[in-house]
């Protein structure tokens, strides 16, 4: 990229000429929370921007670390917000967890999965016919912690998948640690390790990193992370759709997941300030993760439409 493509502020360029990025990009991968919407509110200018990019012939994918919904459920959310998106354009970390287990031939082990998480993970596991327990079924359960009490875990669990869970409880944590610590070869899988998330548009909420941290703390194990910045989802897109990485731009609001996902996987990266990252944080000397460009929201791409008119 040439120095004329943006205004240099320190080592990071502000996206002042979006047309130049559009000219070299055929595929845009968008994070959802903080980029497309906040909570259940669409960010201003997003519907028009997505329609404009499609009209230009750009291929769009939506990659989210939120595991609470399946791809089909996310498609319904897009529709409810007046946004056009097909299920095959959506890659959630719940799908990534199921895809990882399928790729590693987990089903052939004859084992089952223990789920800390919500219905999104369950639905994706059902689609690839992988047996599981836990999840929604363990909501509200409490272990017997009186004298002599113990929790009997399932010795046939070969993997524990930890996703965002608004109903996480001590029973789930204890069951998961028993499986990981006592079942030989049991794999610890995290959909993501995001510190915070956007449950509402009013404030940030503790993210899946808090759930994963609880399991790390009681097992001493590091998880296999299948969501961003793991390469699993971009590898899947590149292989399935036969695309070149140099024509792809990752657009997100997080430095440590979205931008790192782009940089680690040979993609251009655009940071938007409509989510968790502020311009102050981006420009801080402590920040070591720098996107190719940054801008306020993806509606900046509409500037090129105005220029053409």
Q: Which residues are catalytic?
A: 31, 33
Contact 121, 161 (CB under 8 A): yes
In order of 50, 214, 264, 274, the CA distances from 207 in angstroms are 27, 12, 22, 18
Handedness of CA 49, 52, 53, 54 (dihedral sign): positive
Provide the H-helix boundaries in 183-256: 208-219, 232-241
Tokens of 203: 């404030």
Cα separation of 263 and 282, whole Å? 15
Cα separation of 109 and 24, whole Å? 45
The number of CA neighbours under 13 Å toward the Cβ of 121 is 33
Cα separation of 54 and 162, whole Å? 35
DSSP β-ladder status, 268-272 and 7-9:
unpaired
């Amino acid at each position: 990229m040439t120095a004329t493509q943006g205004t240099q502020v320190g080592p990071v360029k502000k996206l002042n000429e979006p047309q130049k990025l559009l000219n070299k990009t055929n595929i845009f991968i968008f994070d959802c929370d903080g980029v497309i919407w906040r909570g259940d509110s669409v960010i201003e200018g997003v519907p028009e921007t997505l329609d404009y990019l499609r009209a230009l012939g750009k291929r769009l994918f939506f990659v989210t670390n939120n595991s609470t919904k399946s791809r089909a459920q996310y498609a319904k959310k897009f529709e409810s917000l007046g946004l056009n998106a097909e299920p095959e354009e959506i890659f959630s970390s719940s799908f990534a967890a199921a895809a990882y287990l399928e790729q590693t031939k987990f089903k052939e082990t004859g084992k089952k999965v223990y789920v800390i998480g919500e219905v999104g993970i369950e639905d994706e596991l059902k689609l690839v016919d992988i047996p599981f327990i836990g999840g929604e079924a363990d909501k509200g359960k409490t272990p017997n912690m009186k004298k002599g009490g113990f929790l009997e875990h399932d010795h046939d669990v070969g993997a524990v998948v930890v996703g965002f869970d608004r109903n996480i409880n001590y029973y789930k944590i204890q069951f998961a640690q028993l499986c990981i610590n006592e079942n030989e070869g049991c794999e610890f899988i995290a959909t993501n390790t995001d510190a915070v998330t956007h449950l509402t548009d009013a404030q940030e909420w503790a993210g899946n990193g808090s759930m994963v941290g609880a399991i790390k703390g009681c097992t001493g194990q590091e998880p296999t992370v299948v969501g961003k910045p793991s390469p699993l989802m971009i590898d899947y897109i590149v292989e399935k759709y036969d695309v070149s990485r140099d024509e792809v731009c990752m657009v997100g609001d997080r430095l440590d997941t979205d931008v790192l996902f782009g940089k680690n996987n040979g993609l251009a990266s655009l940071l938007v300030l409509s989510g968790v990252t502020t311009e102050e944080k981006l420009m801080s000397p402590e920040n070591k993760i720098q996107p190719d460009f940054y801008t306020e929201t993806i509606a900046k791409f509409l500037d090129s439409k105005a220029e053409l008119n």
